[in-house]
Copies of this chain bind each other. A is one copy, B any other.
Amino acid sequence: MSDVAATGVSVLLVDDHPIVRQGYRRLLESQGDLHVVAEADNAADAYGAFKAHDPDVVVLDISMPGASGLEAIRNIRARSPRARILVFTMHNEAVLVKAAFSAGASGFVTKSSEPSVVVNAIRSVARGERAMSDDIAHILAEDSLSTGSVLDQLGEREIEILRQFAGGATTEEIAAHLNLSVKTVQNYHYLIKTKTGARTDAQLVRLAATCGLTKI
Contacts and interface: CB of A to CB of B under 8 A. Distances in A.
Interface of A: 16-20, 22-24, 26-27, 30, 63, 90, 111-115, 118, 165-170, 198-206, 209-210, 215-216
**Most interface-central of A20, A165, A170 (chain B CB within 10 A):** A20
Contacts of A200: 165, 168-170
Contacts of A112: 16-18
Contacts of A215: 63
B30 A23 contact: no
Contacts of A115: 18-19, 22
A140 to B, nearest CB: 18
Contacts of A205: 201-202, 205-206
Contacts of A166: 202
A215 B63 CA distance: 9
Contact of A27 (B23, B114, B169, B210): B23
Contact of A26 (B30, B90, B113, B114): B30
A18 B209 contact: no
A27 B165 CA distance: 35
Given A202-B168, A209-B209, A24 B19 contact: yes
A133 to B, nearest CB: 11
Given A19-B115, A22-B115, 20 more contacts: A16-B112, A17-B111, A19-B27, A19-B111, A20-B20, A20-B23, A22-B23, A22-B26, A23-B24, A26-B30, A168-B198, A168-B199, A168-B200, A168-B202, A169-B202, A170-B199, A170-B200, A201-B201, A209-B209, A210-B216
Contacts of A204: 202
A206 B208 CA distance: 11
Nearest to A109: B19
